[in-house]
Structure formats: structure tokens, C-alpha cells
Structure 1
Amino acid sequence: MNSSPYFPPGGPRRRRPRRTTRSLTGVAVVAAVAAGGAYAAGVGPFARDAGPDPEAVAEARAFLADWSAGRLPDAAARTTGPHRAEQVLGSFTAGLDIEKPELTAGKPEETGDGTVTVPFTARMPVTGLGTWTYISQLPLREQDDGTWKVEWKLSLVHPRLSDTEKFRLEREEAVPVEVTDRDGETLTGATHPSLAPVLAQLAVGGGPRGAVHLVDRATDQVQRTEVSFGGEKTRKDEGPVRTTLDARWQSAAERALAKADGKNAALVALRIDDGEILAVANAPASGFNRAVSGTYAPGSTWKIVTSSALLLKDAVAPDDVVDCPKYLTVGKRFQNVEGSEHPGATFRKDFTESCNTAFISLRGRLGEGELGDVAKKYFGVGQNWHVGVPSYDGSVPVPRDAAEKAASMIGQGRVQANPLIMASVTATAVSGTFHQPSLVDGTKDTTRTTPLPRKVVTQLRALMRATVTEGTARVLSGLPGDIGAKTGTAEVSDDQENNGWMVAHRGNVAVACLVEEGVTGGGSAGPVIRELLTAVPES
């Protein structure tokens, strides 16, 4: 049975019978799909003759999607205990300050007692602290009318949640401090509103700290600490925190986000030669620092890493013919944006037009875990970064099946990143050397990476430049400077528009922008980056 995390989040509420005989506890599903194009995720491709009933799996995925999207009454209605389920799901999310949780379904299994079990990975962004990740599972049982429901129990929310134990979030109060940019100019929420999530994290003691504890319901005693956030105190005085930010770049980034038309969006700009962050912008300006701590499928911007993996082993060359058909089936059907095709295209054309099917067709030239190995070894993705504020540092798991490997080639499957990661990926690709991003001076660097060969860097720069001059990033053409870029589109669900991505570099600066439900990267993130690069001179 298909193990892909992609599924229609609304799901049918009713099904025909089969014709064969602050206290409690939180999460949000990202069912990302398609990188420069859409990944067809209709019900048809999931149908199989053997394995768990597809209707049971669809119901599980619909439950996860409703829960993650905040449709708690709908999620609860899919369980055998709707009243209790709605109460617990609500208190879990609200009580632990979880914002936009992500739930990724795993491979379903039949348990032999008439139930189907669907495991899932929960990524819980705790506001202002970081992401709590754990694994749980959904039990489903067929009802008398032939439909399937999630069998309600507390342990499906988290394996340790029970009638005798619950969770509690504790925060250590942070002391606000004066924050300045790299030149000593004071930065405040009034002057730079979209910095609000970052400024809240830059407090005396090296940023906010907190923990989620498992506590006894009767005695309120802590039984264990599930996750801790924040490091040891590093500041001994209350003087200004000097950051690597540049007030000029920060202001331009905030103005540029206005081009996102009120959608949730995030942008990061950093220096290529040392990783110092020049701007971090978030929309909305309050709450979650999605630019640094968000977890998203990077879509076709990830093809920079995929191309690196292929070029490193001479598995393909830019002038090689790699056909770009409309569709390609690997366990399920993948497609390009609007069913586009480029017969007889070269790999260079596949990159500049962001052809999903061409990249997926090259999957056999990489080992099962090779894409993740390249991401970690050369780009630092998945290593532990010390940025200066809580950050999510990326994940590229080994694919569980052929379909997931195909999806990972185009920045989907379980590949996860954010604008900080993709700005860093861009900087590494065009310079050849990874520099751990930093927001404040003196951050610890425990990463270990290997420089990209100069030949690969030259090829990547040429591919990204061609994407601006003749490909999907033409929105940046005409701007001064030798700009290179890559667009990306990531499908979220059947009832949400795609997320739009773009990464770019010019001079010594790399930029990444995400616009949630932006439809396409060139159409949503493109205008944001164009506005930014127009506002600041070449650096």
C-alpha cells in the first residue's frame, strides 16, 4: 500500500459500504507535493488490489489533515468519540502553544484484529521555542455501515498521553534587551515589525528556553521531560545584542513582503561568503518565526541539491538529453505544471523549466539515501546549526519506497526545509562552501562539511543563471547584476493552493522566499524577491 504522506485533506465525510464481504496537548499536516509542478494525488493512483482498505487509509489521512488545519470538529467527527476528541485535540494544541502543527502519514498496516493502523510523524512548532517531533499512530476500525472511523483513544494524540498522565508547557521568562544591526543601529518591533518573532528570541541568556513535561494528573508531579528548548545561558550582562542583520536589507525585505498580497510568507537574505544573516522577514509579523523555524517541502528549489548529487557523480551532464514527458508513474502519477512537456529536452532545459518528470526519471542514478547524504555532507542540511535563535535545520530521510524516492527528487516526500535553509543551500551551491548561518556573533559551529568541486559549482551557477534568462525565473531578468535563481511550487492539499518558492543570488547575497498558498513560485515569491533586489544595490 502506498506510504506517501500526500492525501486529500477534506476527504469524503460519508462512504458507501464496501462491496466486498496549556495542559493537555498538539500538531499541523503538511502534505506537500510537486516542486516546479504539481504531484497528482487523486484517489485513483492510490488504489491497490492488496493491503489495507484504501478507504480506511483515506479516512486516517483526512483526520490528520483536519486536525492539522484546525478543523477540530471535522477531525473529531471522524472518530468513535467525537465529543472527547474535539475537547482533547483543542486543549492539546492550545495548552502547548502549538502553531500550525504538521502530521505526516506513514505506511499503513493491517493489525489482524480487524483494525488498520496508520503511523504518523508529528512536528509540533511550539510558539517562540522550537519544534517538538514525535511518532504516534492512528487505529481505524470498520463500522457496521461499512465506513471507517478512527478509534478514539488518548494515546493516538501522543503515545504517553493517558488517563493518568498529561503534558504541561513551562517557559523560562526571557528578559528583553536592546538589539542592534551589524552597524549598531537599534532594531525594534516598531521600526521593523516583521522582526518581532526574532526579537522575542534574542533575550538575555541566549534566547528563550522552555520544556514540555509529562506530569501526573493527580499529583501534578513531573514524570519526565519530553523535549527541551534553548541552550545554556550565554549572556552575562544586559547590554545590547549586536546582530548580523543589516537595517537597510531588513527594511527592504519587509517592504518586499507586501508583494505577497497578505498571505503568510517569509524571507531570508544572507551573505554568501560567511553565512551572516542580513534580513529575516515574516508575515504576519507576530507569532511564529516561519523563516527560520518553519518546516515546509521546498519544492523545485530542492532541485539545486538533486542536481548537485547527480553532477557530483557524473550521472548527468547539462547537455545530456533527458526527456520531459507530461506524466511519469512511479507507484503513483507525477506530472509537470499544467501538464507541460518538453520532448527531447536537455538536462539544462529540464532545470530551467523545472521539469518534474525528467528529474524523477533520473532517480535510479542515485542510491537510496544518497540525496540525503549529499545534502548533509556538502550543504549541512540536517546537521545541528547554532544560528543564535531556535532554528529548524532540515530533514532528508531515506525514502521508504520508490514513490517517496521519486518525490524526494523534486523536493517533496519527507524532505523538509525553510527559507533559512534554502538561502544557505543557494549560497553553498554558488560558492562551493557551506557556512553555518548566523544571526549573532560568537555562535558555536559544530557542522562538518566538504566543499563542492569547482566544476559542479560552475555548472550550478550556469543552470541558475539560465533559469533567469530563459526559464521560470524570468521575473528577475532585466535587474542589474549576474543574478541566478530557481523557482519551486509545492502542493499542500486538494483544498489549499500550492506554496510558492524562489531562491536567488546576486553578488555576495543569497535570498530565499516562501509564500504560503502562492500558487506558483514565479508568480508569488518572484515579485517579492524582485522588489527586494530592486530596493538594495548589488552587494
Structure 2
Amino acid sequence: MRRRWPAVVVTGALVAGAAGWAVVYGPLQGDEPPRTVDPEAVRTARAFLGSWAAGDLPAAARLTDSPAKAEETLRNFTAGLEIAKPVLTAGAARVDGAAEEGARVPFRARMPVAELGTWSYGSELAVARTEAGWRVRWELPLIHPQLDDKQRFKLVEEESAELAAVDRDGKAISAAEHPSLVSVLGLGGGKPRGEVQVVDRITGETRSTAVRFGPQPGEGGGPLRTTIDARTQRAAEKALARHTAGRNAGLVAVRIDSGEVVAVANGPAGGFNRAFQGTYAPGSTWKVVTSAALLAKGAVTPESRVDCPKYLTVGKQFHNVETSEIPGASFREDFIHSCNTAFVALRGRLTNDEMTVFAKEYFGIGPEWKTGVGSVDAEVPVPAGETEKAAALFGQGRLRTNPLAMASVTATAVSGTFRQPLLVRGTEQPAVATKPLPGAVVKQLRSLMRDTVTEGSAKVLAGVPGEVGAKTGTAEVTEDGNNNGWLVAYDGEIAVACVVEGAQSGSGSAGPVLRDLLTELAGGAAG
């Protein structure tokens, strides 16, 4: 029987333009030339963020127009918050006033707080030209938008009480039956819990909560109401345990029609929640997004000829798995056989910031997500140069995702609509404005992913009943070490993503996991 549910370390961005200037794309008035940002302003912003992330606060402060105040504030900001090794990712700079006056650089901050989780938020800094050169304009909201001269942050920690939770049907979820949910939801109690509060600088009165960590009780003290489907959760945990042989792994399944999370599994079960909080290069699974951007722009069609050579050099030598090649390949063949060099060859058909903008506008990547538990948002930084851009097109470089993000990417690609993932019902989710993918692009993506199963690199799923589509990925971690194996897939109801660390390939490591999961859910016998 088919299941049936009720409908219910610092990274920066310098956009390469003519003569080394960073071009900011926007609407032009008449024949007015594009407005540009002086690359020195961008370098100053990146250097400031780099020093701050590295803990060299004096160096960061010297790059501001108020060094003494900046150093004092940066130091006080982390005092008592137990923040270590923040990651600060710069976005694309834009002109602030006339080009010679300054620039504004948005950035994403990921602050690891004690053993509680990651505090993720967005902010922005201004860079202005001074007599001493370019300097970051010092202002308190630079550190965090809620920081000002009347309020500060305070960390409050406690140990959680035993937590009761129910699945999407209102039935109790137990730690014994679903061990992966112990770390995801905090089942069983005794787990660290806390929050960063915004408090009055004088009275200490709590004004609001910036972020919460760890298991939270349900509304009114009742059980935590989740979107978990018990059958899917059991199948996911069983498949992951069976095929990962003790390796670190993570898996997320979401409903395509709603974004609701129906399964979260981690290896080892009960350990670190890699599925929601991991930060991985997505490897070739990211070609789903790259292909969507190319197809939507009309830069290619599935029938376009895009050669797949063994090697292609763009600052460094790129190659395919086992240095394979497909002479005279079509884009469809490049996709289903996961040809890296073909995607590298197409880099000139997308502008430097186009993938960042496209991922945000169509896939909801960039704004903060709220699932109801701690999660780390995916990052698609604007590449700093051609080599980095080439790597990003097939999911390497500075791209960072996790199974939660890639399950959502898959659901968006095959439905055309981004639906923010949700695990805990009642969670207040920030509005994420996105556009629907063109219907023709959705049809092409579904066809490409289906062909990847029937003819390409995801044949491991060929025996799964129903119309299943997929995309494999093998992400390099080090040049001479093992890879991370990825597989994303969809059937008629769910989209699922799985990563297995220390793997040889996505099809060989994550493939058997998703094969067993999808086969069992289709009512068949897992092989």
C-alpha cells in the first residue's frame, strides 16, 4: 500500500567586472552606466570580517573609523555568550551613495553558542572612504541588527525536562522507537536548552528572544506537535543504520506539497544532528539548481550540445569522476551522467552573482528558515573569482548545505514552488518571498532526474516502484581523502536527501539507503 497522509571561516564576495571592478546589477535608467563598487572597499569589508571571525579583534577594529570603540564592543559582544569560531559570509557589495563615497556589504553570521547550537542571522556593514583609506563605518547594528545603546544580549541556559512529542497523527513518539529523534527533538529530557535574550542594558529586563536552542515544550505545556510520519521515520532510520556501517550520515524527507518534514535520521542515531545542522558541500546534487538557472534563462536546453571532456582548466584543473568523458554530449547526457567539466564550461552563461540571486528567489536559500528546532541555513556566496565560480556550478567551492536544505531544493525543483520546511507545528516562520519556477523548467528537471534513474548515475534506484527521479553527488572534502556521498530523490509524495561521510560515491553510499527507504514506502521489499 502507498502511504496516504491528510492534506493538511570567513567567505567574501567580489563580483568580477571590467577592469577588476565589482559590478552591482540593478535597473538602469536610460543610458546611465552600471554603478560600481571600488574593489578596495570590498577588500576592506572582507578583511574586517576575516579578522573578526579569526578572533583578531584589534586587527578588525583598526579597519573601522572608531578603533577603540569597535574593539571594546566586539569583545563585549561575545562575553558571556560562549561564542567560538564564528563564520561570517559576505554577500555582494552594492553602492552606498556615489561610487566614491562608499559601499554596503551584507553578510551572514553563524555563531556557535556553547554546546547549544548555531545562532544564525544576517546583518550589513558600511564602508566609507576616509583620509586614511577605506574604513568600516562603526555602528552597533553592524554586529547584530538588534544591538543598540539601550540593549544587549544575554545567554540563559538550563537542562530540559523530559519532553513529550507526537507525530503528525497525534500519536506519541518515543526515544526507544525513534533514536534519531533524541538529538533532533530532545526526547527523554536532560538535554541542554537555552536562549539568547535581548535585555535592557540598565535594568536587565528581558525585552525579546533573539534565538532559542534545544528542545522546547509544546504550547501550554502539552506535547510537542511534530510533522513526523512514524512509518517514514522508522524506514529512514532502518535504512540508514543498515547501509552506513557506523559512518556519519544524515537524511531528511519532506512532503513535496507542503515542505513538512516527515523523517529526520542521523548516523549515529542520537548523535550530532547532521541532517539539520551539518555544513557540507552538496557536490553534484547542486546541479539541480544550476540546471534550473540555465534552463530558466534559456542558456541551454536538454538537447544542447555541451561537450564533456576529461579535464578543463579554469585557474585549476577540474575533472570528472574517474576522469570520464562524453565527446559530443548533450546537456541531458551531462546531467544524467553528472559531468563536472560540462557545467564548468557553461560558467560564462551565468553572471557571477546569478546563482546566489537565483537560489534565493526560487529556492528560498539565503533568508533564515525556522523549522521549530535548531538548524543551519544553506549558503550560496557570490564567488570571488572564475575558479570559485566554476567549482560552485557543480556544488563545490564555498557552497554549504545539509540534507534539510537539499531535500527542500529537490521538492522545489519538482513542484516549482518553494515551501519552507517545518518540523514543529505552531512555529512562527518568517516570510520568505520566492518566485515559482517556470512550468517548462519544472517539467525538464523532472525528466532529467527521472532519466538519471533509468539511464544515468542513479540506476541504484531503478527498481523502486513508481516514477522516481534523482540526482547523485560526490563532494570532495580534501584532494586525497575520502569524499562525501550524496543522493537526492523524489517520488509522488516526498523529496529526500541523504549524505554519507567518508564515501566513494553518492550512488554507492547514499544510493542503497534511499533505495530501501523508497522501496519500503512504496509497499515493496527492500533489497
TM-score norm. by structure 2 comes to 0.69
Task: For residues 408-437 of structure 1, give each alpha carbon's deviation from its aligned partner in whole angstroms, at most 9, with x where no partner exists.
Answer: 101111111110110011001001111111
Name the counterpart of 1:218. Answer: none
Q: Would you say the 8 A contact 2:183–2:272 is kept in 1?
A: yes
Given the superposition, is the C-alpha separation of residues 132 and 287 from structure 1 closer, same or farther in structure 2, using an over 3 Å criterion? farther
Gaps of 5+ in 1: 6-59, 65-91, 107-120, 136-158, 160-166, 214-221
Name the counterpart of 1:307. Answer: 291
Name the counterpart of 1:238. Answer: 221
After the TM superposition, which residues 330-349 of structure 1 pair with which residues of structure 2 at under 5 Å, given as runs?
A: 330-349=314-333
Q: Within 2, Cα distance between the matches of 1:102 and 1:294?
A: 15
2:303 to 319, 328, 331: 319
TM-score norm. by structure 1 comes to 0.67
- Look up the equivalent residue of 2:455 and give its one-letter code: E
Given the superposition, is the C-alpha separation of residues 362 and 104 from structure 1 closer, same or farther in structure 2, using an over 3 Å criterion? farther
Matched, 1:229 2:223: no
Name the counterpart of 1:350. Answer: 334
- Look up the equivalent residue of 1:230 and give its one-letter code: R
Name the counterpart of 1:51. Answer: none
Q: Within 2, Cα distance between the matches of 1:314 and 1:524?
A: 34
Name the counterpart of 1:530. Answer: 515
Name the counterpart of 1:129. Answer: 117
1:438 to 404, 412, 422: 422
- Look up the equivalent residue of 1:130 and give its one-letter code: T
1 or 2 for the larger relative contact order (CA 8 Å, sep ≥6)?
1
Task: For residues 246-280 of structure 1, give each alpha carbon's deviation from its aligned partner in whole angstroms, at most 9, with x where no partner exists.
Answer: 11111111001121111000000110000111100
Given the superposition, is the C-alpha separation of residues 169 and 349 from structure 1 closer, same or farther in structure 2, using an over 3 Å criterion? same
Q: Within 2, Cα distance between the matches of 1:438 and 1:202?
A: 22
Given the superposition, is the C-alpha separation of residues 202 and 383 from structure 1 closer, same or farther in structure 2, using an over 3 Å criterion? farther
Name the counterpart of 1:498. Answer: 483
Given the superposition, is the C-alpha separation of residues 430 and 307 from structure 1 closer, same or farther in structure 2, using an over 3 Å criterion? same
2:369 to 354, 375, 385: 385
Name the counterpart of 1:178. Answer: 164
Given the superposition, is the C-alpha separation of residues 495 and 435 from structure 1 closer, same or farther in structure 2, using an over 3 Å criterion? same
Name the counterpart of 2:47. Answer: none
Name the counterpart of 1:195. Answer: 181
Task: For residues 80-113 of structure 1, give each alpha carbon's deviation from its aligned partner in whole angstroms, at most 9, with x where no partner exists.
Answer: xxxxxxxxxxxx9xx9597xx797999xxxxxxx
Given the superposition, is the C-alpha separation of residues 396 and 203 from structure 1 closer, same or farther in structure 2, using an over 3 Å criterion? farther
- Look up the equivalent residue of 1:129 and give its one-letter code: G
SS of aligned partner of 1:297: coil
SS of aligned partner of 1:462: helix
Q: Within 1, Cα distance between the matches of 2:361 and 2:121?
A: 23
Matched, 1:422 2:410: no
Task: For residues 26-76 of structure 1, give each alpha carbon's deviation from its aligned partner in whole angstroms, at most 9, with x where no partner exists.
Answer: xxxxxxxxxxxxxxxxxxxxxxxxxxxxxxxxxx9xxx9xxxxxxxxxxxx
Q: Within 1, Cα distance between the matches of 2:282 and 2:452?
A: 17
Name the counterpart of 1:85. Answer: none
Name the counterpart of 1:250. Answer: 233
Task: For residues 448-501 of structure 1, give each alpha carbon's deviation from its aligned partner in whole angstroms, at most 9, with x where no partner exists.
Answer: 111111100000000000000011100000110000000001111145310000
Q: Within 2, Cα distance between the matches of 1:319 and 1:102?
A: 45
Matched, 1:518 2:503: yes
Given the superposition, is the C-alpha separation of residues 236 and 320 from structure 1 closer, same or farther in structure 2, using an over 3 Å criterion? closer
Given the superposition, is the C-alpha separation of residues 407 and 386 from structure 1 closer, same or farther in structure 2, using an over 3 Å criterion? same
Q: CA deviation at 1:4?
A: 11
Matched, 1:360 2:348: no
Q: Within 1, Cα distance between the matches of 2:480 and 2:305?
A: 36
Q: Would you say the 8 A contact 2:302–2:330 is kept in 1?
A: yes
Name the counterpart of 2:46. Answer: none
Q: Within 1, Cα distance between the matches of 2:508 and 2:441?
A: 29
SS of aligned partner of 1:210: strand
Name the counterpart of 1:50. Answer: none
Q: Within 2, Cα distance between the matches of 1:168 and 1:478?
A: 54
- Look up the equivalent residue of 2:275 and give its one-letter code: A
Q: Would you say the 8 A contact 2:218–2:225 is kept in 1?
A: no
Name the counterpart of 2:436. Answer: 451
Q: CA deviation at 1:443?
A: 2.6
Q: Within 2, Cα distance between the matches of 1:528 and 1:368?
A: 36
After the TM superposition, which of the residue ranges 282-291 and 417-426 deviates more from structure 2? 282-291
Q: CA deviation at 1:129?
A: 2.3
Matched, 1:279 2:279: no
Name the counterpart of 2:276. Answer: 292
Q: Within 1, Cα distance between the matches of 2:402 and 2:166?
A: 25
Q: Would you say the 8 A contact 1:469–1:477 is kept in 2?
A: yes
- Look up the equivalent residue of 1:479 and give its one-letter code: V
SS of aligned partner of 1:237: helix
- Look up the equivalent residue of 2:229 and give its one-letter code: D
Name the counterpart of 1:69. Answer: none
Given the superposition, is the C-alpha separation of residues 257 and 102 from structure 1 closer, same or farther in structure 2, using an over 3 Å criterion? farther
Q: Would you say the 8 A contact 1:394–1:416 is kept in 2?
A: yes
Given the superposition, is the C-alpha separation of residues 310 and 490 from structure 1 closer, same or farther in structure 2, using an over 3 Å criterion? same
Given the superposition, is the C-alpha separation of residues 333 and 483 from structure 1 closer, same or farther in structure 2, using an over 3 Å criterion? same
- Look up the equivalent residue of 2:118 and give its one-letter code: G
SS of aligned partner of 1:197: helix
Given the superposition, is the C-alpha separation of residues 268 and 404 from structure 1 closer, same or farther in structure 2, using an over 3 Å criterion? same
Q: Within 2, Cα distance between the matches of 1:332 and 1:276?
A: 41
Given the superposition, is the C-alpha separation of residues 326 and 510 from structure 1 closer, same or farther in structure 2, using an over 3 Å criterion? same
Q: Within 1, Cα distance between the matches of 2:421 and 2:455?
A: 31
Name the counterpart of 1:263. Answer: 247
Q: CA deviation at 1:534?
A: 1.7
Q: Within 2, Cα distance between the matches of 1:4 and 1:403?
A: 14
Q: Would you say the 8 A contact 1:129–1:210 is kept in 2?
A: no
SS of aligned partner of 2:220: coil
Q: Would you say the 8 A contact 2:308–2:342 is kept in 1?
A: yes
Q: Within 2, Cα distance between the matches of 1:239 and 1:104?
A: 38
Q: Within 1, Cα distance between the matches of 2:470 and 2:12?
A: 29
Q: CA deviation at 1:182?
A: 0.8
SS of aligned partner of 2:499: strand
Q: CA deviation at 1:173?
A: 3.8
Q: Within 2, Cα distance between the matches of 1:389 and 1:202?
A: 16
Matched, 1:405 2:389: yes
